[in-house]
Amino acid sequence: MSLTKVTSDVLEARYTDAAVISSTSGTISVDWSAAAVYQMNASLTGATTLNFTGFVTGQVITIYALQGAQTLTLTSDASSSTTLHKVGGDYDGSSDPNVLQVECLDDNSVNAVFVYSVATSATDPTP
């Protein structure tokens, strides 16, 4: 029988898997080929840079439980520049956890482009 639908099982880990980030400061490599969802294991304890690698155009990743009143920088392994387009507000990890969603608009290895939105989040059973 031929395959008539693309199931989650046949997709790469970059579209289906979840991972945990345990580092809480410094430069943290986030490999977009490894997972689509990243959970921060603990609050940030110092200035942190999320360095994106392995991204492809159109891919979206979500990083949640992102917390800690620290300076947070996004960058990538693009050789020349990493351009970020902000949608909405700024990261504020001083009280509630944040959800950060990033989409790669251009995976050019020289000048990568991303769009991101970040906001505080809370469990809400009655949206």
Partner 1 sequence: MKAKDYNGTIKTFPAVPKSYGNIIGGFDLLSDIELQGYGFYDVVYPEYNDLTQYFSGLQFNESTNQFVYDVVNIEWDETLAELKEKQITVAKNAASDSLRHTDWVIIRDTELGNTTSQAILDSRAAVRTACDAHEVAINALADKAAVMSYLITY
| 4 phi, psi to nearest 5 deg | -105, -15
| Number of residues located near partner 1, criterion CB under 8 A | 19
Using CB under 8 A, pick the residue from 92, 97, 99, 108 that binds partner 1: 92
* 16 versus 70: smaller Cβ distance to partner 1: 70
Is 42 a binding residue for partner 1 by CB under 8 A? The answer is no
CA distance 9 to 121: 29
* 33 versus 82: smaller Cβ distance to partner 1: 82
**Cα separation values, 44 from 62, 63, 71, 75, 115, Å:** 17, 13, 9, 17, 22
Is 61 a binding residue for partner 1 by CB under 8 A? The answer is no
Using CB under 8 A, pick the residue from 16, 23, 43, 82 that binds partner 1: 82
| 24 phi, psi to nearest 5 deg | -125, 10
Residue count of the chain:
127
CB of 24 to partner 1, least distance (A): 14
Beta bridge partners of 69: none
Using CB under 8 A, pick the residue from 29, 70, 101, 108 that binds partner 1: 70
Q: Show Cβ contacts of residue 3 under 8 Å, excluding neighbours closer than 6 positions.
A: 10
Q: Which residues of the chain form contacts with partner 1 (CB under 8 A)?
A: 47, 69-75, 82, 84, 86, 90-93, 98, 100, 116, 118
